[in-house]
Amino acid sequence: LIGSNVSVWDFSQIRELAQLDENTSVGSFVYIDAAVRIGKNCKIQSGALIYHPADIGDGVFIGPGAILTNDHNPRAINYGGEAKSPNDWEKVGVNVLEGASIGAGAICIAPITIGKWSLVGAGAVVTKDVPDFALVVGNPARQIGWVGHHGVRLLKKSKYIFECPKTFRLYEVKNGSMAEMGIQ
């Protein structure tokens, strides 16, 4: 199911039962597996690979060459040497929540959730859930800070209060989670 105003560039493959909501852009050489759901206003850059059962929220950016996996324990054959069939493995997915961005060449190892408005740095290997508004980098990915709605690293104002240097919006950490406070 392809929504209105969706653009798909050359040489991309969108499998059966995939859903792409309105105003989404898909670059060249992208693979979107069967039954993957991609929300509205997303941007999937060239060379990205998105495997079922991934679920992509609204307004998500997936950078060039990023990979969202679906098999936590991959094997081509069973113990006896026979080729594995679809019944021989359990697919697990990567869930990417609203507004999140995944940088170029990042690899997200399912099963994980990438939190709302978070930012995964280029080349990161994500092996565990990413909190909302978190900035994660490296292999394995680790949190090095927080970002706001504009994707800009937040500046620490006090122990639990952070500010976006672009919008001056304030964010607060409560019980390890980040939330916007509003403009003051």
- Enumerate residues 6+ apart whose C-beta is below 8 A from 116: 57, 97, 98, 99, 100, 132, 133
Is the confidence at residue 183, as pLDDT, over 80? no
Confidence of residue 184 (pLDDT cuts 50, 70, 90): very low
Rounded to two decimals, the pTM is: 0.93
User: Measuring CA to CA, which residue among 108, 27, 98 is closest to residue 66?
Assistant: 108
Whether the CB-CB separation of 70 and 53 falls below 8 Å is answered with: yes
Whether the CB-CB separation of 153 and 134 falls below 8 Å is answered with: no
pLDDT of amino acid 182:
63
pLDDT top residue among 87 and 96: 96
Which tens digits make up the pLDDT trace of 62-74? 999 999 999 988 8
